[in-house]
Each structure stands twice: as C-alpha cells, then as structure tokens.
Amino acid sequence: MKKSWFNAWLLLAILFLAACSEEDSDEGDSAEGEGTSDAVVEIDYWQYAFDSKVNLMDELIAEFEEANPDIKVNQTNFPYEQYNEKVAAQVPAGNGPNVINLFYGWVPLYVDSGYLQPLPQDEFPHEEIEEEFFPMVEATKLDDEYWTIPTAVRTLALFYNKDLFEEAGLDPEQPPTNWDELVDYSKQLTKRDANDRLEQAGMAWEPSQQGHHWFRDALIYQAGGEGLSEDRQTIKWDDSPAGFEAFQYWLDFPLTHKVAERNFYTDDVTAFMTGHAAMNIDGSFRLGTLQNDAPDLNYGIAPLPSKNEEATQSSFWTNGITATTEGAELEASVKFLKFLTSDEVMERWLEEIGELPAKQKVAQQDKYLQDERYGAFIEQLPNAQAHFFIDETRERDLVIRAVDRVLLEGVDPKEAYDELVEDTQALFDEYWGNR
C-alpha cells in the first residue's frame, strides 16, 4: 500500500521534472551552437504554410546546405491565421526564428515591437537595393533602414475571358487599354435576362477582394493623383480632383453602367471562373487557382487599363532577420538571405510558385516579358505601388463601407468619399500619434 502512494507521487515528480528539463536541454543546445565555431550553425526559418512555397523552400534549403556544409536551416510553418500569434509567443521565449518571412504590411508592427534588426548595410547596401530592386520594396524602409528584403512580388492585372469576348464580337487579342475602353467593353459583355436581372457581368466587381487595392493603388494614380505623402502621415487623395474621379469611375461600374453587381455569383473569382463575369481585376497569385480549379477556362491577361498614367497595385512577402540573432547565427542568416534574394532563386520562385522576381534585371528578361501568363504582370512592375498600410483590415473596411453607403443606402458618392478620406486619415493620425 505504501508503494502505491509512493508511486503516485513519484509519477507526478517525474512529470514535473520532465517538463522542466525539456526547456533546459533546449537552452543547452543553442548555447553550444554559438560557442564552438567549428560546429554546424543552426538557423531557423519561418514562413506561413502554403504548399508550393513550403516545398520549394525545402528544395532550396537542401541546396543551400550542400553549398554551405557548416550551416543547417530548419524550416517551420504556421497557418496564415496564426502566424503573428505564434511569433508573439515564441520570440520572447527565445525559441523564435532567425530569418522570418512576413507580409510587407506587417513589417511596421514588427519593427515597432522590436522584433527585427535592420539589414546589415555592408551586406545589403542601400544603393544596391535601390538600384537592383523594384521601387515598391521601399514600403518596408522605416527610420531610414531597410528591415526586410523580398524574393518575389505580386501585381494586379486585367483577366479577361476570351470566349466571352468572341461571343460578344470583340477581338480576344485586343483587350481594353484605357478607362473608356474598359467601360465600353464591359457594357458590350453584359447580358441581362427578360426580367432585367444580370445574367453575365461585363466586369466582376468586388471591393472586398482586390477591388479596394485597384482603387487605392491603381485608379487614383492612373487619374494623376497620389496616395500618401512622403513622410507617410497624410492621405493625399483629396489634394487633387483625381481621387474623387477615381472613386466615381470605380463606383460607376455597378452604379451607373450597371455592368457589375456586388457578390455576383458570391464573389469575383467564382464569377470569373464559372464564366459569369467576362473580366476581372486580380493578382498574379490567382494563376495557380485558375489552373487547378478551372483548367479549361480560355482567358487572357492584360495590363490594367489606364488613364493619364500607368499604375498597378503590388504586395509581397518579405524576409527579415530577428533582433535576437547575433554572432555566427547572424552570419549564417545573412548568407541565407543573400541566397534567397539571388537571381537563380527568383527565377525558380517565378517558375514554381508564380510570384514575380523582385529584381528588375531578373524580371525584365525577354523570356518572362513574352510569357502570355506573366508578361502583363511583369510589364507593369516599374509602375507598381505598394500602399503603406497602417491596418489593412480597417482600411479595407472603410472602403467597403463607403461603397455600401452609396450602393445600399443611396448616399451621395461625394459624401461617402469625403467620409472615407477623413476616416482613413484618422487611422493614420492615431497610428502616428501613438508612435
């Protein structure tokens, strides 16, 4: 009987000790790695779980390790939704990554929280970055430092259904190139039934998907306007009539021309994929979806139709080094980051994942510019804008609200637009006020 009593406590004690010793041994390992210079340096790389990216990264890591036998890279993945939570839980505990893949819109949050260190200038000189990379990488330049560097970027372009073009008597090799043509084409591509209900939309129109990006980073610039002031504190949509002109033009698709409806066939991608919408504004990241889910869709891709200027929206995932990385690990991390931003990796990233090379020289090769899938996206890269988001969700919601106020509540577009500018500015004021 004494035995069972004793055993129970022994069991508890063992459990307790086991839980503690696990942490101990972790610390021991990492200290060892830093101390002995001959030993293999281990670094951790984190990115979100996206199958094709994870697989390619596994291959790349194997190649990198072969070329650098003294470095070992561990890849860890988390679902997109939990990514920031995991970072917040692991980094302060000392178990975080050395090299981390982040959405560019999150970088200010990470920099403000002290999780990143600036890229070492001797390895990544500013002049070199600014000369080699497309200008949108400056979106993550804060306090005069580059904190991250991307392998690949994405842009928006016009997707159009060639079969529906032919059906409407339009030349499938001549997509619309300017604002007026886009409206004109959408009208010709729109079909309504006997009850005047939309049967086929000329234009898939969805502010909650890429629509708000199209308005913010493409239409306003195309009309000759600007997004943000140099210091990123002031919204400049209202500095010229271009901002409202863009808003009105964008809103006119469902409002005046009636060539589109919100949530037509639930969303723009579904409507376009099922042939119920003839055109859509979407990103290069959609190519994979279309290939898998609608392999028979006969579609073409063209640069965004423009007005006074050419412009498109871009976004990217980018790589930074965490603040706690130092010594041999820092050296290895820099080496790994150099490898990730090398020309060869960028080419493979495009071929296997479909994201566009972030370096001008790599992207603008003839073989890519002529490509019928990627050509239009790459052609637009020099004119691409990446908005500096304070809070992507809230900025998106404000645009959606402005649209809904006009379409559902019958509010005057000018009034809804003024409210949008004011509320967006208020978000920026709040952010800079707290900084």
Residues in contact with other proteins by the rule CB under 8 A: 1-2, 4-5, 8, 12, 81, 84-85, 87-88, 92, 109-110, 112-115, 195, 197-199, 208, 261-266, 276, 391, 393-394, 397, 400-401, 404-405, 408-409
CA 172 to chain centre: 30
Nearest in space to 273 (alpha carbons), one of 243, 293, 257? 293
CB 177 within 8 A of CB 170: no
Nearer Cβ to other proteins (105/305): 105
For residue 206, the minimal CB distance to other proteins (Å) is: 9
Nearer Cβ to other proteins (114/125): 114
CB 385 within 8 A of CB 138: no
For residue 110, the minimal CB distance to other proteins (Å) is: 6
> Would you tell me how many other CB atoms lie within 10 Å of the CB of residue 81?
8
Nearer Cβ to other proteins (112/180): 112
Residue that has been written with the tokens 């500095």 in this structure: 239
Distance CA 124, CA 318 (A): 14
SS3 state of residue 334: helix
State the amino acid at position 390 in one-letter form.
I
Rounded to 5°, the CA angle 219-224-228 comes to 80
Nearer Cβ to other proteins (54/93): 93
For residue 363, the minimal CB distance to other proteins (Å) is: 32
Q: Distances from the Cα of 329 to the Cαs of 30, 67, 86, in angstroms?
A: 10, 17, 21
Residues linked to residue 317 through DSSP beta bridges, in sequence order? 103, 152
CB 179 within 8 A of CB 307: yes
Nearer Cβ to other proteins (65/391): 391
For residue 414, the minimal CB distance to other proteins (Å) is: 19
For residue 213, the minimal CB distance to other proteins (Å) is: 15
Distance CA 357, CA 51 (A): 19
Nearer Cβ to other proteins (202/303): 202
Residue that has been written with the tokens 């992507």 in this structure: 392
CA 338 to chain centre: 21
For residue 9, the minimal CB distance to other proteins (Å) is: 8
For residue 295, the minimal CB distance to other proteins (Å) is: 22
For residue 242, the minimal CB distance to other proteins (Å) is: 27
Distance CA 417, CA 435 (A): 28
Nearer Cβ to other proteins (197/367): 197
CB 21 within 8 A of CB 15: no
Nearer Cβ to other proteins (39/426): 426
- The token pair at 295 is 């392999």
For residues 183-211, one letter each, b for 16 or more C-beta atoms within 10 angstroms of the residue's C-beta and e for the rest, the string is bebbeebbbeeeeeebebbbbbbbbebbb
CB 278 within 8 A of CB 200: yes
CB 414 within 8 A of CB 244: yes
For residue 263, the minimal CB distance to other proteins (Å) is: 5
Nearer Cβ to other proteins (92/125): 92
Nearer Cβ to other proteins (301/398): 398
For residue 51, the minimal CB distance to other proteins (Å) is: 21
